[in-house]
């Protein structure tokens, strides 16, 4: 039995998915902690207390729990504001652990904000630290418009230190290994490739007609699905331009094709409702006269999301960068063909022409062409659906936990005795 302090400062594993700063990382931390707990390990996930109605401590399952640490005002905060309160977060975390009289065998931190907290806790507690970044600041600099700013400088400096000081680094794909080595001069021996997983009991194939009936959707429409946070890096604006291009070339499709956008906080009671980015996207929809063809649903619970995957003809993942691509994997597990970009982990997860189609990032015309191929060719769609399901069988949370357990054992065996 290993006692693990898991740090996920800005991303609570129990957060409602699809809103600001809530996505694949939240799922990863939640499912890994649960699976490790089922195996008898003790896992405490420490995260910022963001929602006032959340209990201070919430169970995740056997031997696993979420501990909310007060740090700054309640509610959503941009990452740099969260960073400004990291000292407070760290001190209150230490106080909580001291009060409980707990001790841990290792730290597993997620993202750069958690890496900075782990940098203080590891020597204080005399334990090794394992780091997973999920996304890298240097990679985002290469694809984002606002490439170099104060936040990026701070983030990259913290990431560089974490690469040097961590006992082990988890990479989601071999592509990320290359990025860590080239951009951060990481030691290859420190890096362990452990991809993400999917819950096959939740994300599984079902008849498209049944899924559409349960969702109340037109059984005859051709449905494109996008799932993700509403931000530039996810490429949603590229997808909307691609749809506009498709309708320009094939105007008859306007009466058949529907794009469903799942993600973003559209609830008026939510402090993140109708962000500036969503307003920008609605203007793009209006510009191409696509109001009848595009629906923004906001974020959904996972059982409902699984129905949308099953109901879709194709899932578009047009990200500008992606360390792994959990949305693509969830769609594939449901037997839904994926059109994704040839970036990051997507290009290792999706086998072009077998379990999906790959296009260059940011290329709206190529994206439109690939989507049109899938929608217009039932045989290709069936071929990709079978390939997607077969591919997804190799990625489960059980397999992820197997690899993480092996990594923990290796790190603890190699860790020198440390004075506390």
Same domain membership, residue 298 and residue 190: no
Residue pLDDT, tens place only, 139-170: 988 887 654 444 578 999 999 999 999 999 99
CATH of the domain at 378: 3.40.50.2000
For tokens 């800005």, the residue is: 10
Kindly state whether residue 285 falls inside one of the protein's structural domains: yes
Q: 370 pLDDT band (50/70/90 cuts)?
A: very high
Looking at the fold, whether 387 and 402 belong to one and the same domain comes out as: no
Phi, psi of 43 (to 5 degrees): -125, 120
218 and 304 co-located in one domain: yes
Q: What is the DSSP-derived secondary structure letter of residue 16?
A: P
DSSP class per residue in 332-399? HHTT--EEEESSTTHHHHS-BTTTEEEE-TT-HHHHHHHHHHHHH-HHHHHHHHHHHHHHHTT-BHHH
Residues near 253 by beta carbon (within 8 Å), at least 6 away in sequence? 222, 246, 247, 375
The pLDDT value recorded for residue 142 is 82
The number of folded domains in the chain is 2
Q: Running DSSP on this structure, what letter comes out for residue 299?
A: -
Q: What is the pLDDT of residues 224-282, one digit of tens each?
A: 999 998 888 899 999 999 999 999 999 999 999 999 999 876 544 444 444 577 788 88
Residue ranges making up the domain that contains 378: 208-392
Residue 22 is predicted with a pLDDT of 61
How does the average pLDDT of the chain come out, rounded?
91
d(CA 114, CA 47): 9
Residue 203 lies in a domain: no
| Range from 247-251, 286-290, 353-357, 416-420 carrying the lowest mean pLDDT | 416-420
Asked if residue 192 and residue 279 are part of one domain, the reply reads no
Q: Give the whole-angstrom CA distance, residue 280 versus residue 275.
A: 9
pLDDT band at 14 (very low <50, low <70, confident <90, very high): confident
Indicate if 388 and 408 belong to the same structural domain: no
Determine, yes or no, domain membership for 305: yes
Cβ count near 261 (within 10 Å): 24
pLDDT of residue 75: 79
Q: Does 420 reside within a domain?
A: no
Contacts of 327 (CB under 8 A, 6+ apart): 24, 227, 228, 315, 317
In a domain, 238, yes or no: yes
Mean pLDDT of 357-382: 97
Q: Are residues 30 and 146 in the same domain?
A: yes
Mean of pLDDT values over 282-304:
92
Q: Give the Cα separation of 344 and 138 in Å (integer).
A: 13
Read off the pLDDT of residues 97-132 as tens digits, 9 standing for 90 and up: 999 999 999 999 999 999 999 999 999 999 999 999
Tens digits of residue pLDDT in 85-101: 999 999 999 999 999 99
Q: 223 and 370, same structural domain?
A: yes
419 inside domain? no
Burial (CB count within 10 angstroms: exposed 0-12, middle 13-18, buried 19+), residue 394: exposed
Residues 214 and 169 in one domain: no
Identify whether residues 324 and 345 lie together within a single domain: yes
Number of C-beta neighbours around residue 410 at 10 A: 13
The answer to whether residues 382 and 252 belong to one domain is yes
**Could you tell me if residue 261 is inside a domain?**
yes
pLDDT digits (tens, 9 = 90+) for 332-352: 999 999 999 999 999 999 999
In this structure, are 30 and 142 located in the same domain? yes
Q: What single-letter DSSP state applies at residue 313?
A: S
Q: Is 90 exceeded by the pLDDT of residue 387?
A: yes
Query: DSSP secondary structure string, 122-183?
Result: HHHHT--EEEE-SS-HHHHHHH-SS-S-HHHHHHHHHHHHHHHH-SEEEESSHHHHHHHHHH
Q: Is residue 202 situated within a structural domain?
A: no
- For residue 259, list its beta bridge partners: 224, 294
Element (H or E) spanning 113, and its range? helix 111-125
74 pLDDT above the threshold of 50: yes
What pLDDT does residue 263 have? 87
Q: Are residues 149 and 218 located together in one domain of the fold?
A: no
Q: Structure pTM?
A: 0.91
- When pLDDT is cut at 50, 70 and 90, the band that residue 419 belongs to is very low
Query: CA 411, CA 420: separation in Å to the nearest integer?
Result: 18
Residue 314 neighbours by CB distance under 10 Å: 24
For residues 327 and 158, the answer to whether their CB atoms sit within 8 Å is no
Query: pLDDT tens-digit profile of 188-229?
Result: 999 999 999 999 999 999 999 999 999 999 999 999 999 998
């Amino acid at each position: 039995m290993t006692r693990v302090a898991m740090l996920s400062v800005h991303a609570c594993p129990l957060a409602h998915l699809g809103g600001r700063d809530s996505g694949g990382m939240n799922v990863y931390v939640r499912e890994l902690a649960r699976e490790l707990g089922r195996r008898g390990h003790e896992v405490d996930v420490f995260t910022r207390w963001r929602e006032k109605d959340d209990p201070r401590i919430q169970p995740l399952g056997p031997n696993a729990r979420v501990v909310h640490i007060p740090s700054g005002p309640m509610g959503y905060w941009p990452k740099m504001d969260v960073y400004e309160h990291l000292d407070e977060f760290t001190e209150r975390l230490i106080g909580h652990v001291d009060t409980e009289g707990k001790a841990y065998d290792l730290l597993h931190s997620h993202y750069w904000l958690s890496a900075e907290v782990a940098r203080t806790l590891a020597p204080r507690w005399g334990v090794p630290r394992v780091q997973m970044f999920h996304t890298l600041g240097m990679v985002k600099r290469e694809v984002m418009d606002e490439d170099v700013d104060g936040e990026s400088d701070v983030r990259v400096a913290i990431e560089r230190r974490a690469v040097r000081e961590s006992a082990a680094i988890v990479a989601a794909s071999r592509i990320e290994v290359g990025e860590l080595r080239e951009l951060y001069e990481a030691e290859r021996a420190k890096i362990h490739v452990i991809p993400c997983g999917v819950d096959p009991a939740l994300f599984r194939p079902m008849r498209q007609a049944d899924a559409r009936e349960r969702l109340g959707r037109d059984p005859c429409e051709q449905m494109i699905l996008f799932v993700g946070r509403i931000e530039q890096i996810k490429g949603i604006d590229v997808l909307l331009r691609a749809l506009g291009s498709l309708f320009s070339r094939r105007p008859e499709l306007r009466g058949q094709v529907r794009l469903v956008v799942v993600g973003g906080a559209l609830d008026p009671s939510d402090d993140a409702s109708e962000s500036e980015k969503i307003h920008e996207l609605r203007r793009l929809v209006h510009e191409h006269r696509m109001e009848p063809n595009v629906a923004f649903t906001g974020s959904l619970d996972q059982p409902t999301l699984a129905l949308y995957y099953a109901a879709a003809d194709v899932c578009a993942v047009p990200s500008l960068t992606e360390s792994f691509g959990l949305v693509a994997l969830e769609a594939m597990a449901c037997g839904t063909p994926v059109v994704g970009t040839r970036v990051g982990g997507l290009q290792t997860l999706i086998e072009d022409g077998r379990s999906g189609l790959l296009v260059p990032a940011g290329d709206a015309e190529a994206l439109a062409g690939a989507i049109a191929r899938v929608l217009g060719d039932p045989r290709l769609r069936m071929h990709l659906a079978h390939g997607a399901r077969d591919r997804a069988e190799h990625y489960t949370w059980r397999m992820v936990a197997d690899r993480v357990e092996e990594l923990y054992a290796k790190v603890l065996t190699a860790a020198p005795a440390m004075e506390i």
